[in-house]
Chain A
Amino acid sequence: AQSVTQLDSHVSVSEGTPVLLRCNYSSSYSPSLFWYVQHPNKGLQLLLKYTSAATLVKGINGFEAEFKKSETSFHLTKPSAHMSDAAEYFCVVRAAGNKLTFGGGTRVLVKP
């Protein structure tokens, strides 16, 4: 069985400050992990993915995430938030088979 926990349902940051979105997973297998972003009433855009190569993964729009097996974590960071980063972010795990398991989402608010 696999599961994903996003530790914060809402995160509020000021423009230009760092963003940290926390994600912990559980999996019986060596997982693949993803972060997706969803803007209001829009579809999902892949930010980055980890598939057992480098543990520090760089994605689009300045985001990156680090896979830490010992902590079963895959936190997403960005050094400097932009207004356009306001959206909902989903941490996703695929352990085996063809099913993706989504976390509950973290809604990011960026204050000017």
Chain B
Amino acid sequence: NAGVMQNPRHLVRRRGQEARLRCSPMKGHSHVYWYRQLPEEGLKFMVYLQKENIIDESGMPKERFSAEFPKEGPSILRIQQVVRGDSAAYFCASSPTGLQRTGNTIYFGEGSWLTVV
């Protein structure tokens, strides 16, 4: 059973370009979470999605950031018009149900490192 797969692992974008980060959850998992890790900091929650629904986006910046988890295909975190401050590691995680009902464990991918130049 493959783990949470993220791609690309490393992405370089110029300021003003768009970044798209993809996440395929573990097989059988329908809940996806995105976290951001700025340099020298811990991870911070961004958004929680189920198939075709955004459940909690309280950690998402109000502008330029969006996330989706379509019925078919991976979850996408999209950052428009990137700025240097968007440089970070973006981690995706998945769980089979909401955390209250899964023994409280979510599984993280290996991350996507975005560098904005």
A binding-site residues for B, Cβ under 8 Å? 32, 34, 36, 41-44, 46, 49, 51, 90, 94, 97-105
Contact = CB atoms under 8 A, between A and B. Distances in A.
7 contacts: A41-B113, A42-B110, A49-B104, A90-B42, A97-B99, A100-B33, A102-B44
Nearest to B97: A98
B104 A51 contact: yes
Interface residues of B, number: 27
Contacts of A32: 99, 104
A43 B42 contact: no
A109 B3 CA distance: 28
Interface of B: 31, 33, 35, 41-45, 48, 55-56, 58-59, 91, 98-100, 103-111, 113
Contact of A98 (B44, B56, B105, B113): B56
